[in-house]
Structure 1
Amino acid sequence: MAAAQGEPAANSLRLGLAARLALRELRGGLSGFYIFLACVALGTGAIAGVNSVSQMMTGSIASEGKTILGGDIRFEIENRDIGEAERAYIDRLGTVTAGANMRTMARKPDGSDQSLVELRAVDGAYPLYGGFETVPAMPVDAVFAEQDGIFGAAAAQILLDRLGIAVGDTLLVGQAEFTIRGVIATEPDALSEGFGFAPRLMVSRQALEQAGLIRPGSLVEYSYRVRLDEAAGSRDLAALQAQSNERFPDAGWSVRTSRNAAPALTRNIERFSQFLTLVGLTALIVGGVGIANSVRAWLEGKRGVIATLKCVGAPSTLVVAIYLIQVMLIAAFGVLLGLAFGALMPFAAASALEGVIPVAVSASFYPASLAIAAGFGLTTAFAFAVLPLGRAGEVPATALFRQQGFEASGLPRWPYLLTAGLTLAALCAAAIWFADDRRIAGTFVAAVIVAFAVLRLVGHGVQSIARRWPAVRSTPLRLAIGNIHRPGALTPSVVLSLGLGLALLVTLALIDTNLRRELSGNLPDRAPNFFFVDIQSSEIDGFDRVVSELAPDGKIIKVPMLRGRITGLNGQEVNAENVPSEARWVLRGDRGVTYARNLPENSRLSAGEWWAPDYEGEPLVSFSAEEAGEIGLAVGDTVTVSVLGRSITARIANLRDVEWESLSINFVMVFSPNTFAGAPHSWMATLTDPDADAALEGAILRGVTQAYPTITSVRVKDALELANQLVGQIGIAIRAAALVALIASVLVLAGALAAGNRSRIHDAVVLKTLGATRATLIRAYVYEYGLLGLATAIFALAFGGVASWFVVSRIMTLPSEFMPDIALATLVGALVLTVGIGLLGTWRVLGQKAAPVLREL
């Protein structure tokens, strides 16, 4: 019993002694730990900064939810206005503002120019929250009021610049004339309206009706925003949202509250933040190799101290405890440096983000984000420091006095291996647990683990090849090959340090290049020149004649189009949260649907059979095969769709493989013609003419707009240019994140060189004593680092090529191509990094005097 009680006391005394010795030894400064600090601070700072900025942005959106949404609750319905009962229910909740959104054409009165616009119509109650401001400033009623039979409008500055007009000029929209009364300065609820491909033009609801744009089948989005009165405002918004859907199950409306004002933007911010966090974690884990190298190099300089401690009776556990305390204290300092950078990043980013998201961004300190980053940083430092510390603790004192270092000590005992393994497993589990999309995070972590494993195999493979390489006559090359496979060689550390960073850079560069090539080259060549929507049945024949006269060599494809919302699958109510995230878009909101007698172009059957042209039986539907598989649908299942307020249940007759990347007219659902017999609908058309130049496209746009002002014409090239700009902006952020991983790799490479400097000094002195010249040694090092850089670059190209192919072809379903120029740039970059940093690290080695070193041998 006394022995049992004495054991904790002995452990406590031993720990206290270890802490005193560790603190006393730290008085000598942080020499040898600067790379260690940089690795920890870089990864921690990246994670802390990204998460803090993300929390700032999502917090700003949440805090201004009412202004962003334009109300406490919003009801949105596609292509039909709400009924009397539904409107009465909404009116009882509080103050209501009604709006409508659609895409249409705005043109100059002389017909010389026109532009696609995002047309928004508001009523006199707008806005319920926030302030709508124009330049020049005037009351909202005055902006949209009718004067001398002409309604007013407010436009985005880009629309005025595009058409070459100014405030006070007139525009034609549909069948109505408008006077531009002001430029839109602030549209408080613009964020909740979603992303637009065209400039904003705002008018009144009364003016929209006069323009004659709303007709059967028109693509219109009606919205009703409510500022709740006191009675309704005291109720839970989520409960009110659920009650609205339960009370009107067939309304087909989408109900959103101010607590989720901009779900798409919030979701995208969280996903992008997750990606950048994972990249930062990768940099931290890559830096973990640098941590291990730094600890190893530091312990090299402590051989005498460790040997002395062991000679006076210090057990291995005490030795390990002393240096583990030192390592974790220094790691904590590095984490603090990273947290300071991460805490300041929101303040630096706040001003830059003012033009990115139209809400007031308020920077602050975010303890939760900083705590997560600190946890990742300390855990990584501990996991990668345990193995070299455990290895040093197991080496006998006599061996430490005789040997050059710890290379011959082998692996530490199983408790150290188990501790390191469990800590790394906890690190991976935390990365997945804190992620917004755990499936993606799990895939990312698994890829990093595989890359680490493959890189270790590559390192050992390079050593094995060097060991078996036949003798060469060149002395520098023979020395280089020997350095690659000798005991304690830098090969595993160099390959591991550079491999993951270069592989990540190659992957992102190939993805970015493939996307840009597709958007700027391949897609415009395959895509139609124009999309035409809102073509009425009474206009389709005349439209066909006009386009055929303007583009006689063009190919016109016309399809009927309605809008429908999936409300049930196999008789069960739809729940988008129960399907994979990549397929949820099919179940959210209204989808374009059509009917056809024959199989559409750019499609092929993958299951089932197409119906007969004269089919008159139960409603049938053809479903896109990829989306059906993600949702869990098969031939024979049923789909219930709400179209024009009427629910239709159709059986899936077949599945189609759809070429979405062609940008042709494609639909998730194509119904049998009898399904919508007699239903009012509009038409959609495309025009494809590869030989059409800018002048001809302008003539087509003017001709269609003048003949049919209510038809909306979308020039595909304009949309692709906008998408290209967005991809470019995202690509800059992604490349910056990848650069963090590359910097971590460079730091690790420098740490690996520092860890091997002691043995390098002895080698250089012995070789110089035996007659080797400085030039011979430099050539040997150039050969060695060049061969290692070449092996690393080959791995990075192979891994990055496969990873980018998977993302582009399997996830984005776009053509993927390997880029030789990217391969060459990676190869050159790897060689420059390894040879350049290697020579910088060994330059001091070549200048060492022989006598002091020889006396220690």
Structure 2
Amino acid sequence: MSLRRLPLALRLALREMRGGLRGFYIFLACIALGTGAIAAVNSVSSAVTRAIATQGQALLAADVRFELNNRAATADEKAWLDGLGTVAVSTRLRSMARLPDGSDQTLVELKAVDGLYPLYGALETEPQRPAAELLAEDGSVHGAIVAPLLLDRLGVSVGDEVLIGTARLRIAAMLTREPDAVSEGFGFAPRLLVSEAALAASGLVQTGSLVEHAYKIRLADPDAVLPAIRERANEAFPAAGWSVRTSGNAAPALTSNITRFSQFLTLVGLTALIVGGVGVANAVRAYLDGKRPVIATFKCLGAPAFLVTAIYLAQIVLIAAVGIAIGLVLGALTPMVAMRFLAEFLPVPAEAAIYPSALLLAAVFGILTALAFAVLPLGRAREVPATALFREQGFEPSGLPGWPYLLGAAVFLAALAGLAILTAYDRFIAVTFLAAIAFAFVVLRLVAWGVTALARRSPRVNSPALRLAIGNIHRPGALTSSVVLSLGLGLALLVTLALIDGNLRRELTGNLPERAPNFFFVDVQGADLDGFRDVLKANMPDGKIVEVPMLRGRITAFNGEDVTARNVPPKGQWVLRGDRGITYARRVPENSTLSAGSWWPEDYDGEPLVSFSAEEAGDLGLKLGDTVTVNVLGRNITARIANFRTVEWESLSINFVMVFSPNTFAGAPHAWLATMIDPSATPEQEAATLKAVTNAYPTITSVRVKDALDVVNELVGQLAVAIRAAAAVALVASVLVLAGALAAGNRARVHDAVVLKTLGATRRTLITAFSYEYMMLGLATAVFALFSGGVAAWYVVARIMNLPSAFLPDVAALTVVTALVVTVGIGLAGTWRILGQKAAPVLKEL
């Protein structure tokens, strides 16, 4: 019976909508904004990840790449690789580029290539000439291609000469695009491209040097060979310890980071959508309040409650569809704009494209949000009798709507949460995020209740305007709950992100450089240690030198089980990704303390033992007594976990995930890693030390920590722009919701204003009263935002990032000002028209 009336309900809904969308503009804006944010973030993410997947050969400059650390392939391994296809060899390491007169130097990411590079893609230079020609040797001088940043740092230009190790290089061209740069990861220094002959002449590759040898292969039949290439390689050379990457997974770290960042922005967009859901509820409530005569007419003509509900539900679905369509158009257009900015950093498609899966996900989020927040106001409309609708001033029925509406709202909210969790990269983060949102809604309700209770119990004041404002806060139908709920969540999110960003910048530019070493020195040969110490002491006599042996190894198994077969949480995957720095020690390293187990004796000579970082061991599910197999220099070494250490990573001192017993690597060739710590050193002393070390030992790589932190700070700044933009979307949604909340209360405000003006109140008195009211509500919301945002930021910074967290006064001041300006500004803008309302039409309904 009820279902047969649905066509009638749809027909009546469409007929009533002929008058336009008046009353639903806030509804449209909220849905469009949240849907557009989610569609835009996921469309851009899809564009980048699809580009990485489809351009795998160019990004890898090969069909498959085999990478070895600290050693070149043996003759047998190289012969096996040659049998797969055409092999291009490249070598990467960090080193110091310096001017011939020794007056200046800078860290570089050095890459040596052979004549076949690149097998796929194009190397773009200025001037543009073949790589073999640009890198050719002219007498004793080798050609080089350099990144523009290197020219700026050393103050040189194309045609000038620089030194690398013991090799002299002539800058033949400037590098504009390196095809496989993305697949090789983020570098802290500018690229310097040379030939393999130039690298050999430099003398940089020595015993224990941190060098990555890559063998990039063009296969004759990639489709037939690639699916089983890893298994074939490991079967042929089980102890090789090489890392194998195919064109189908050219940049896994970048893809993972993009996915994580897009998930974060999607959750922020979902916050905007949920905040907008409050606006949907307010808009529906205000719209139905304005439709009281129509609803009353329907009921008086015999329309059942189901038909009335169906009519307005159909309108809500249709209007939500319009808002979703607007959001999807915005989301589809965003990648076309974003590609222009991302093309400089990432491999993105130049042509326009639509990503249906991203748009579909946003559309489903949008419709679920609209329905979840519109059901309860519809249920309340259904329960109000026609007689009350004719004369009641406020659409404020008491109690909850019927159970079908409560069940419907719960189902839609559960579906919304389930979709967010199901599509999340890290479901724990998604669950935590949604729980925080739900908790915030509950707390905001309590804040509104608290503000109302305080206003009700406040002492009587002499000012009529202030007395009226306090009364407006706690009277029936007050805007207190709507305003606090509308603005609170967006402001809290803004405070959280601002505090995280501020603490990161404060740590990177202030506290961290003060605690961190001045320098890291890499590839210090054992024979050079004494002379190296003398150079440091001569230039920084008050400094502390710390030096440890350094090797590189890749974890291949836990308890004999291949690590690729383990289900490792995202938080711990970085430990297994590629090679890790490892060392051995007789005593517990500085900046770490034993948390479980015991340290081995200094003269220990039993089975190999290893000390594992406690936090990372927990992420990997390891326990005392487990075994860890590490491939070092082509040899698999299995050690038993003897203890766990709590490591102070934030100190930036020398520390390792794994520290082995000294007998584990007896006789293994290795170099040394050293730090110099002198908080009192001046920039002039640091510059002189860097120059002295580079000139005396050109094969030692020197990293000035402050320079590295500057690069990280710049990267954090770029990420902060995207995060702030996403937070701004949530804040704009809050502002829209606030406007909707005020619109929903306009009918009661009109009544109050007319009655007060009839009793002698002036417009000035009413404006002052409304200003006081909005200021108090804005201040209460700001206090909540500062508290909740501060707690959330503290948890992220102190517990997740393990960094010192501080509350920043400037963020607090900005939050209070923003809350007051928004609430007072929008509040007065919404009530200005009310103050000019004619009295007669309102008074005749009393």
Corresponding residue for residue 718 of structure 1? 707
Displacement after TM superposition at 1:11 (Å): 3.1
Q: Name the stretch that deviates more: 802-811 or 145-154.
A: 145-154
Counterpart in the other structure of 2:202: 211
Is the alpha carbon distance of 1:234 and 1:763 closer, same or farther for their aligned partners in structure 2, counting shifts above 3 Å? Answer: closer
1:556-567 aligned within 5 A: 556-567=545-556
Is 1:28 the counterpart of 2:27? The answer is: no
Question: How many angstroms apart in 1 are the aligned matches of 2:465 and 2:124?
Answer: 74
Counterpart for residue 812 of structure 1: 801
Taking the TM superposition and a 5 Å limit, the aligned residue runs for 1:438-449 are 438-449=427-438
Q: CA-to-partner distance for each residue in 1:595-631, whole Å, 9 max, x for gaps? A: 1122211111111222222222222211111111111
| 1:758 and 2:747 are equivalent in the alignment | yes
After superposition, where does 1:149-160 map in structure 2 within 5 Å?
A: 149-160=140-151
CA contact (8 A) 1:56 1:363 kept: no
Counterparts of 1:310-325 in structure 2, within 5 Å, are 310-325=299-314
Partner of 2:212: 221
Q: Alpha-carbon deviation of 1:685? A: 0.6
- Asked whether the equivalents of residues 577 and 584 of structure 1 are also in contact (C-alpha less than 8 Å), the reply is no
Paired with 1:545 and 1:200, the residues of 2 have a C-alpha distance of 31
Report the more deviating stretch, 496-505 or 46-55: 46-55
What is the CA distance between 1:314 and its match in structure 2?
A: 0.8
Alpha-carbon distance in 2 for matches of 1:577, 1:653 = 22
The answer to whether the 8 Å contact 1:102/1:221 transfers is yes
Tell me which residue corresponds to 1:522. Answer: 511
- Out of 428, 433, 451, the position equivalent to 2:417 is 428
Q: Distance in 1 between matches of 2:411 and 2:767?
A: 42
* TM-score, scaled to structure 1: 0.97
Q: Deviations over 1:1-48 (max 9, x none)?
A: xxxxxxxxx334311111111111111111111111111111111111
Matched residue of 1:821: which SS?
helix
Q: How far apart, CA to CA, are the structure 1 residues paired with 2:793 and 2:407?
A: 34
Instruction: Map 1:773-852 onto structure 2 (within 5 A).
Output: 773-852=762-841
TM-score calculated relative to the size of structure 2: 0.98
- 1:301 to 2:290 alignment: yes
The residue identity in structure 1 corresponding to 2:65 is: R
Q: Displacement, 1:158?
A: 1.5
Counting only pairs closer than 5 Å after superposition, residues 116-131 of structure 1 correspond to structure 2 as: 116-131=107-122
How do residues 287-686 of structure 1 correspond to structure 2 at under 5 angstroms? 287-358=276-347, 360-575=349-564, 578-686=567-675
Task: Deviation per CA, 1:632-688: give whole Å up to 9, x if none.
Answer: 222222222221122222222221111101111111111122221221110011011
**Equivalent of 2:69 in 78, 85, 102:** 78
**Aligned partners of 2:130 and 2:760: how far apart in 1?**
91
In structure 1, which of residues 97, 107, 111 is the aligned counterpart of residue 98 of structure 2?
107
Tell whether 2:153 aligns with 1:178: no
CA contact (8 A) 1:565 1:587 kept: yes
Residues 300/236 of structure 1: CA separation in 2 closer, same or farther (3 Å cut): farther
CA RMSD of aligned residues (A): 1.4
Q: After superposition, what is the alpha-carbon deviation per residue over 1:474-502, rounded to whole angstroms, capped at 9, x for unaligned?
A: 32222222222222221111111101000
Tell me by how many angstroms 1:320 deviates.
0.5
The runs of 5 or more residues in structure 2 that have no matched partner are none
Cα offset, 1:709, TM superposition: 0.7
Q: What fraction of aligned residue pairs are identical, expressed as a percent? A: 67
Contact 2:97 2:164 in 1 (8 A): yes
Q: Structure 1 residue 437: deviation in Å? A: 2.1
Matches of 2:237 and 2:762 in 1, distance apart? 89
* Change in 2 beyond 3 A, CA 1:612/1:368: same
Following the alignment from structure 1 to structure 2, what is the Cα–Cα distance between the partners of residues 237 and 678? Answer: 38
SS in 1 for 2:266: helix
Quote the residue 1:698 is aligned against: 687
Matched residue SS, 1:759: helix
SS in 2 for 1:76: strand
Between the aligned partners of 1:727 and 1:846, the Cα distance in structure 2 is: 48
Q: State the alpha-carbon separation in 2 of the partners of residues 496 and 577 from structure 1.
A: 44
Q: What secondary structure is seen at the aligned counterpart in 2 of 1:255? A: strand
1:64–1:359 Cα contact (<8 Å) kept: no
Distance (Å, rounded) in 1 between the aligned partners of 2:394 and 2:757: 22
CA distance in 2, matches of 1:131, 1:579: 37
Deviation (angstroms), 1:790: 1.5
Does the CA contact (< 8 Å) of 1:100 and 1:120 recur in 2? yes
- The reply to whether residue 144 of structure 1 matches residue 132 of structure 2 is no
Q: CA deviation at 1:161?
A: 2.0
Deviates more, 1:838-847 or 1:466-475: 466-475
Query: 2:35–2:327: 8 Å Cα contact kept in structure 1?
Result: yes
- The DSSP-based 3-state class of the residue aligned with 1:117 is strand
Does structure 1 conserve the Cα–Cα contact (< 8 Å) formed by 2:58 and 2:179? yes
CA distance in 2 between partners of 1:480 and 1:169 (Å): 75
Q: Distance in 1 between matches of 2:802 and 2:710?
A: 20
Match of 1:3? none
**Counterpart residue number, 1:266:** 255
Cα distance, 1:125–1:181 mapped onto 2, change above 3 Å:
same
Other-structure match for 1:161: 152
CA distance in 1, matches of 2:123, 2:809: 52
Q: Secondary structure at the match of 2:844?
A: helix
Report the AA paired with residue 350 of structure 1. M
**Separation in structure 2 between the aligned mates of residue 799 and residue 417 of structure 1, nearest angstrom:** 28
Aligned counterparts, 1:278-293, within 5 A: 278-293=267-282
Q: Would you say the 8 A contact 1:390–1:416 is kept in 2?
A: yes
Q: Residues 207 and 669 of structure 2 are in contact (CA less than 8 Å); yes or no, is this contact kept in structure 1?
A: yes
Distance, in Å, in 2 between the alignment partners of 1:275 and 1:362 is 26
The verdict on how the C-alpha distance between 1:841 and 1:166 changes in structure 2, with shifts beyond 3 A counting, is same
User: Is residue 45 from structure 1 mapped to residue 54 from structure 2 by the alignment?
Assistant: no
Contact preservation (8 Å) 2:158, 2:172 = yes
**CA apart distance, 1:842:** 0.8
Q: Residues 377-406 of structure 1, C-alpha deviation per residue, up to 9 Å, x if partnerless?
A: 112111111111111011111111231132
| 2:7 match | 16
Residue 7 of structure 1: aligned partner? none
Cα distance, 1:409 vs structure 2: 3.9
Other-structure match for 1:5: none
**Cα contact 1:109–1:172 (8 A) shared by 2:** yes
